[in-house]
Structure 1
Amino acid sequence: MTAGTVAPAWMHEQVTAEQYGSWPEEQCAGIEIVDGMVVARPRASKRHNRRARILANALDAAAGPDWNADTDFDVRLQDVPLTNRRPDAVLYRADTIDVTPTRPEHVLLVAEVVSPGSETTDRIVKVDQYAKSGITFYWRIEQAATGVPLVYTHVLDPATRAYRDGDVFTGVIKVSAPFPVEIDLGQL
């Protein structure tokens, strides 16, 4: 929006799950809903989108037939007040591909690519929200000074509903959980 442009009313009023469900995908694509309020997401760079897509493709290839990985779709964290997040990459149960909305119990792993303007949200806010909703794995991709990304992995402690820090990877991600996967970070 430019100076002098007035935001539509739906950006200033609390939104219910029913209202949100009636909106066209084009209206939902650039936003998240947090505590019922619309939060505009900054437009992602081509590099950001490429990193998310390459990560999702690698997870999809390694996951086997029971899991799918994809980018940029809603995960419904709670209904009231409505909270929908759009992780940069999501690994979800293959048998829920046609289930809408995607809920935390369908999701095994979410990943966020940190960009200018998303640092606090990706490092603090979403970590807490994803953990409290019960998503087992959270990965955060950050740009290192060397140009090769750093990947921070987190694993849910079910007793506390908080993430424990996992490994930090540069160069190559090589993990055995949630399944064996190796990703050359130079591709990201």
Structure 2
Amino acid sequence: MTAETAPPAWMHQQITAAEYDSWSEEQCAGIEIVDGMVVVSPSASKRHNRLARILANSLDAAAGPDWNADTYFDVRFQDVPLTNRRPDVVVYRADTIDLAPTRPEHVLLVVEVVSPGSETTDRIVKVSQYAKAGIAFYWRIEQAATGIPLIYTYILDPATMTYRTGDMFTGTVTVTAPFPVEIDLGKI
């Protein structure tokens, strides 16, 4: 294998938090770091990105002054070995907007929009990881064949640090916790 065809070093060795923090936003886009290893995410579809944007905009409008909702930025779970996740939507404390990295204790809710290639990670791995980190709410959006999204909500049980299954919605989410919000995802 020539130097021109050799995979970059980051593909086969752990990277540190300091190394990752030196990378540009462009280098960090589309990846997560799990136990120090880079995990490349497939490019999201327009439908996926629109769902995430509609959710983030609606959550941000309903959250009040104490919380912000945004899409696609890192939440750092641990420094050694480095583990960063990049949820599709994150509701986080407004007073931490300038803190980097964002930590789980800053986060109230994460949302993952399931896409081909992310099924196991979004349905099993991240549910456990987000709960163990103490994130109070997790929502999973399934892109159904009918075109109308299915929304599964989960609520943290602090005694067991696992999620209890909350409500399931088709198309429109209407919840009172973590704050009152109604979101119509059927108009994609």
Partner letter of residue 138 of structure 1? Y
For each residue in 1:140-177, what CA deviation from the matched residue of structure 2 results, as whole angstroms up to 9, or x when unmatched? 00012321000000000011111000000013110000
- The aligned residue for residue 118 of structure 2 is 118
- The aligned residue for residue 105 of structure 1 is 105
- The aligned residue for residue 88 of structure 2 is 88
Distance 2:176 2:124 in 1: 25
Give the 5 Å matches for 1:27-176. Answer: 27-176=27-176
Structure 1 residue ranges (4+ consecutive) displaced by more than 6 angstroms after TM superposition: none
Distance 2:5 2:174 in 1: 48
What is the TM-score with the length of structure 2 in the denominator?
0.96
Distance 1:155 1:178 in 2: 9
SS in structure 1 of the partner of residue 142 of structure 2: strand
Partner letter of residue 153 of structure 2? T
Note if 1:186 corresponds to 2:186.
Answer: yes
Distance 1:63 1:186 in 2: 21
Distance 2:187 2:62 in 1: 16
SS in structure 2 of the partner of residue 148 of structure 1: coil
- The aligned residue for residue 24 of structure 1 is 24
For each residue in 1:58-113, what CA deviation from the matched residue of structure 2 results, as whole angstroms up to 9, or x when unmatched? 00000011100000000001111110000000000000000000000000000000
Partner letter of residue 52 of structure 2? A
Partner letter of residue 69 of structure 2? A
In 2, are the aligned partners of 1:54 and 1:187 still within 8 Å (CA)? no
Query: Aligned-residue CA RMSD in angstroms?
Result: 1.1
- 1:5 shift after superposition: 4.7
Unaligned runs of 5+ in 1: none
In 1, are the aligned partners of 2:72 and 2:89 still within 8 Å (CA)? yes
Compared CA separation, residues 5 and 141, structure 1 to 2 (3 A): farther
Distance 2:33 2:78 in 1: 10
Partner letter of residue 60 of structure 1? D
In 2, are the aligned partners of 1:93 and 1:106 still within 8 Å (CA)? yes
Distance 2:187 2:7 in 1: 38
In 1, are the aligned partners of 2:51 and 2:185 still within 8 Å (CA)? no
Distance 1:186 1:171 in 2: 5
Partner letter of residue 21 of structure 2? G
Distance 2:171 2:44 in 1: 23
